[in-house]
Amino acid sequence: MEAITSAHLCNFLAGAATVAPISTRRRQANAFSVRMGLKEDGPSLAVVGVTGAVGQEFLSVLSDRDFPYRNIRMLASKRSAGKKLTFDDKEYVIEELTPESFDGVDIALFSAGGSISKQLGPIAVQRGSIVVDNSSAFRMDEKVPLVIPEVNPDAMAHIKLGSGKGALIANPNCSTIICLMAATPLHRHAKVLRMVVSTYQAASGAGAAAMEELLQQTREVLEGKQPTCNIFKQQYAFNLFSHNAPVLSNGYNEEEMKLVKETRKIWNDPNVKVTATCIRVPVMRAHAESVNLQFEKPLDEDTARDILKRAAGVVVVDDRVSNNFPTPLEVSSKDDVAVGRIRHDLSQDGNHGLDIFVCGDQIRKGAALNAIQIAEMLL
Amino acid sequence: MEAITSAHLCNFLAGAATVAPISTRRRQANAFSVRMGLKEDGPSLAVVGVTGAVGQEFLSVLSDRDFPYRNIRMLASKRSAGKKLTFDDKEYVIEELTPESFDGVDIALFSAGGSISKQLGPIAVQRGSIVVDNSSAFRMDEKVPLVIPEVNPDAMAHIKLGSGKGALIANPNCSTIICLMAATPLHRHAKVLRMVVSTYQAASGAGAAAMEELLQQTREVLEGKQPTCNIFKQQYAFNLFSHNAPVLSNGYNEEEMKLVKETRKIWNDPNVKVTATCIRVPVMRAHAESVNLQFEKPLDEDTARDILKRAAGVVVVDDRVSNNFPTPLEVSSKDDVAVGRIRHDLSQDGNHGLDIFVCGDQIRKGAALNAIQIAEMLL
C-alpha cells in the first residue's frame, strides 16, 4: 500500500491536489509586496493548538490578511513542544502551553479543544489576554459574546484591545457560521420564524487526523482491505453517517443543538425555531447545508437572490441553466460562503418560504477566518 | 495507475469489498436447496436493459426470491446483443430489443431509460405483456398505477396476469420509494401535512458508469491527477453537488419534483405539501434522506418508533447511546429500508413534528426489488 504522506494531506487541506503549500501560495500572490504582518506597534499574539488543522489555518489566514503582530507565540501540547515551524519566513519553536504562556499576550487564538479552553481560557483572561476561542466551552455563557463579524459585531463592541482587561469571545460552531452567513441577510429582511437544516459535513470538523483517516480508508477500500477505524467507529470512505457528537436525551446530537441554540443567541431571538439533522459525508474540508426557511414577512426568490448578492462574505452561485451550484470543493480554501438553489418553497403558501443550499470552508470561515475577523475588529 | 477492474465495481455493487459475487452468495445461502425459479407454469419474463446496474439487480432479486418463470428473455441494445450471460446456472444469449421481443412475454421488467420505455413500453402492452417500468416515462400518467407494494398495492388491483390484456405499472423514483417506505406508516397514523426532504444520493442512481467514474476519480485524486469527468461535469470524488437532473423554471430539479409529485399520486393526496433538495454524494449504491415531517394529528416519537418497528420492509436502527443509526453502507444490498434519528422536532409546537433519517439501497428497494415485488403481486 502506498503510504499516506503528509504532502497528500497538506494538498487536501489546501482544497485541491494541485495547490502549492500555503507559504508558496502567499509568496506567489505577493511576489512584489513586502510582508506587512510583523509590526512593532501590532499586538502580541498567541496561537493555542498551533499543530492542529485549525491552528495551521490560523497561521495561513494571519499571513493572507497581513494581520499586524509584534510577536507571536506558537503554543501546543507537551508532545509538540520543541518542534520547529516556519511562519512568514521566520522560524519559531513550538512552546508547551502553560499559564505563563499568556504573559504579555494581547490576543490569544484558541483551538485546542473544549477542555484546554475551559482550563486555560480564564487564566489567559486573568493575565490580560483577549481570548478568541474556537471551542464550544464558552459559547452559551451569557457573559461571553458569540460572534460572526458579518452578523452580530455589536455583541463584542464593549471589548477593547489595550484596555489592560482580558476578555473571552467565542467563535460559533462551523455549521452555525456557514448557515447564518446565508440566512442572516434574509432574516434581516423578512425575519426567519423557522429553519429546517440538514448538513453535509466534512472530515475536517473532526480534525486533521479524521481527514487523514478518510484518505487512508479510501485507499484501503479501493484495495479491497478492511478500512482502519481509529477516529470514527465505522467506515467513512464511500459512506456517510449521523454526526459523531454525543446524542442527548431529546434525540438531537450536540452538533445539532449547537445550530439550535447558537442561532438563538447570535440573532438575539429566543423564539426562532430551528431543527437540524447533522450528517458526516466523505468530503475533506468544506461543509454543505440544505436550509429550508419560513419567514414572517413575504420574500420572493428574486429579492432573496439580490439580498444575498449584496451580502458581505457571501457569493451567489445559482445558475439553473448550466446546473452550476455551490459545492464543497469549490469553496475549499475560499473565504466566502457560497449560496445557491435559491427558490420559492413549493410546500409553503404565499411568499413565506425559501429553500437554499449553502457551502462554506469548515476550517476557514467555519473556524480560523471567523476567529481572525473577530480579532481584526479589536484592532 | 492501477486499472479499475470490473471485479472492483462488482464488489462495490454488492456493497462491500469482501462480498462474493451474487451467484456465489446465492449458492452459499441455498447450498442444500433446489432452485425453484424455473417452473413450467410460471410466467414468461423479459428483462429489458439487462446489462445495466438495475438490469443486473433484476436478475439478482429474481434469483434471491425464487421468482417463478417459464422462460426469461435477456434484452438489451444492439451493442450488447449476442453476448452471453449466466443466470441460475443456465447460459443465455442477450437479444437485441425489438417489438417482437415481447411476443409471448407475460411480464416485462423495463430499466433501459425513459425513451426506450416510451417507445417500446406501449408496444409490449399491445402484445399482451404487463410492463413494470423503472423509468419516469409513465409515472405521472393518470391511467398508469405508480406502486410501492407496501404502500399502495390497491392501485394495481385491477391488473391481472393471464387475462391476455397487457398493462403498464410504473415503479416510482428511488428517492420517493425510500422516503415513503418510512413516511407512509407514520402518515397512516397521523396524516402528513408537510414534508421537507434533503437527500444524500448515491452514484448508482446515475447508472453503473457513474459508479465506475466515482471509483476512477477517487483513484485519480488520491494520485494527484485531474479527475476524469465523463458522466458528471465536475469532480465527484471527495465532493458533492446538486443533483444532475435538469433544473426547471421553478428552480427545482426534476429529481426533486419527482418527490413532490409522486408522493401526491402514491398517497392519493393532492394536498400533501412536499419540498425537497436533492444532492449527489460520493457513496456507491444506497441513498440517505433527512426527512422533516409535520402531522395533522399528534404523534410522539415513541409511538412513531413502534409504528416503524412493525412496518413491513422497514428496519429501525436508532441507538442513541452508542450513536448507531442507518448508513448507506449498511443497507447496501439489503432489502429493508433503515430508519433512525427518530425524534420530536424541536421547531414544531406540540407533538405534530418529527425528524427522521432514512437509508435504502437505491438499486434494490429503490429500483429492482420494488419492481419485482410489483411483479410478485401479479402471481
Pick from B198, B224, B242: which is nearest to A198 by CB? B198
What's the pLDDT at B7? 42
- pLDDT at residue A5 is higher than 60: no
Is the Cβ pair A250, B344 closer than 8 Å? yes
| Average pLDDT taken over every residue of chain A | 92
Q: Is A196 on the interface with B (CB under 8 A)?
A: yes
Which residue in chain A has the smallest CA separation from B251? A343
What's the pLDDT at A37? 81
Mean pLDDT of B289-303: 98
> Do A210 and A140 belong to one domain?
no
- Contact between B340 and B357 under an 8 Å Cβ cutoff? The reply is yes
What CA–CA distance (Å, rounded) separates B373 from B147?
A: 10
Mean pLDDT of A324-331: 98
Residues of B within 8 A of A196 (CB-CB) are: 196, 292, 347
Chain B nearest C-alpha distance from A201 (Å): 11
* Beta-bridge partners for A353: A294
Catalytic: which of A243, A278, A287, A359? A287
- pLDDT at residue B232 is higher than 90: yes
Q: Exposed e or buried b for every residue in A150-187, given b needs 16+ CB within 10 A? A: bbbeebbeebeeeeeebbbbbbbbbbbbbbbbbbbbbb
What's the pLDDT at B93? 98
Pick from A279, A345, A357: which is nearest to B275 by CB? A345
- DSSP assignment of B271-289 equals T-EEEEEEEE-S-SSEEEE
- pLDDT at residue A3 is higher than 70: no
Residue range of the domain that includes A239: 176-362
Strands in A44-48's sheet, in edge-to-edge order, are A95-96, A71-76, A44-48, A107-110, A130-133, A167-170
Q: Is B345 on the interface with A (CB under 8 A)?
A: yes
- Out of A18-27, B25-34, B357-366, which region has the weakest mean confidence (pLDDT)? A18-27
Q: Is A12 on the interface with B (CB under 8 A)?
A: yes
Local structure of B364: helix, strand or coil: helix
Q: Exposed e or buried b for every residue in B129-140, given b needs 16+ CB within 10 A? A: bbbbbbbbbbbe
Q: Is A8 on the interface with B (CB under 8 A)?
A: yes
Which residue in chain B has the smallest CA separation from A249? B320
Could you report the per-residue pLDDT of B203-214, keeping only the tens digit for each? 999 999 999 999
Under the banding of pLDDT at 50, 70 and 90, the label for residue A8 is: very low
Residues of B within 8 A of A284 (CB-CB) are: 238
Q: Is A219 on the interface with B (CB under 8 A)?
A: yes
Which residue in B223, B242, B300 has the most chain A C-beta atoms within 10 A of its own C-beta, making it the best mutation to test that interface? B242
Which residue in A4, A5, A198 has the most chain B C-beta atoms within 10 A of its own C-beta, making it the best mutation to test that interface? A198
* Beta-bridge partners for A73: A46
> Do A144 and A208 belong to one domain?
no
> Do A209 and A159 belong to one domain?
no
- Out of A69-83, A178-192, B29-43, B141-155, which region has the weakest mean confidence (pLDDT)? B29-43
What CA–CA distance (Å, rounded) separates B5 from B20?
A: 15
> Do A191 and A88 belong to one domain?
no
What CA–CA distance (Å, rounded) separates B64 from B37?
A: 9
Strands in A192-201's sheet, in edge-to-edge order, are A241-242, A273-280, A192-201, A286-295, A353-361, A337-344, A314-316
What's the pLDDT at A39? 86
Mean pLDDT of A191-216: 97
What's the pLDDT at B36? 64
Could you report the per-residue pLDDT of A343-354, keeping only the tens digit for each? 999 999 899 999
Q: Is B236 on the interface with A (CB under 8 A)?
A: no
> Do A136 and A274 belong to one domain?
no
Q: Is B274 on the interface with A (CB under 8 A)?
A: yes
Could you report the per-residue pLDDT of A163-192, keeping only the tens digit for each? 989 999 999 999 999 999 999 999 999 999
- pLDDT at residue A360 is higher than 70: yes
What's the pLDDT at A225? 98
- pLDDT at residue B37 is higher than 90: no
Mean pLDDT of B183-202: 98
Catalytic: which of A174, A179, A278, A359? A174
> Do A128 and A214 belong to one domain?
no
Exposure of B154 by Cβ count < 10 A (0-12 exposed, 13-18 middle, 19+ buried)?
exposed
| Long-range CB contacts (within 8 A, 24+) of A24-31 | A26/A60, A26/A63, A26/A64
What's the pLDDT at B241? 98
> Do A110 and A242 belong to one domain?
no
Which residue in B243, B277, B280 has the most chain A C-beta atoms within 10 A of its own C-beta, making it the best mutation to test that interface? B277
- pLDDT at residue A26 is higher than 60: no
CB atoms under 10 Å from CB of B88, counted, come to: 17
- pLDDT at residue A292 is higher than 70: yes
Answer yes or no: is A1 within a domain: no
- Sign, CA dihedral B294-B299-B301-B305, equals negative
Could you report the per-residue pLDDT of A40-99, keeping only the tens digit for each? 899 999 999 999 989 999 999 999 999 999 999 999 999 999 999 999 999 999 999 999
C-alpha cell at B358: 432514512
> Do A206 and A141 belong to one domain?
no
Mean pLDDT of B239-266: 98
What's the pLDDT at B35? 56
- Contact between A363 and A52 under an 8 Å Cβ cutoff? The reply is no
> Do B325 and B373 belong to one domain?
no
C-alpha cell at A114: 473544549
Task: Return the residue matching grid coordinates 447564518.
Answer: A180
ipTM beyond cut 0.90? yes
Is the Cβ pair B343, A250 closer than 8 Å? yes
Q: What is the SS3 assignment for B287-345?
A: EEEEEEEEECCCCCHHHHHHHHHHCCCEEECCECCCCECCCHHHHCCCCCEEEEEEEEC
> Do A198 and A343 belong to one domain?
yes
What's the pLDDT at A14? 44
What CA–CA distance (Å, rounded) separates B289 from A141?
A: 34
- pLDDT at residue B27 is higher than 60: no
Q: How many domains is chain B partitioned into structurally?
A: 2
Residues of A within 8 A of B328 (CB-CB) are: 239-240
What's the pLDDT at A16? 39
Could you report the per-residue pLDDT of B78-113, keeping only the tens digit for each? 999 999 999 999 999 999 999 999 999 999 999 999
Q: The domain spanning residue A288 has which CATH number?
A: 3.30.360.10
> Do B155 and B184 belong to one domain?
no
Residues of B within 8 A of A290 (CB-CB) are: 198, 277, 279, 290
Q: The domain spanning residue B98 has which CATH number?
A: 3.40.50.720
User: Catalytic site residue A174?
Assistant: yes
- pLDDT at residue A328 is higher than 80: yes
Is the Cβ pair B194, A342 closer than 8 Å? no
Could you report the per-residue pLDDT of A100-124, keeping only the tens digit for each? 999 999 999 999 999 999 999 999 9
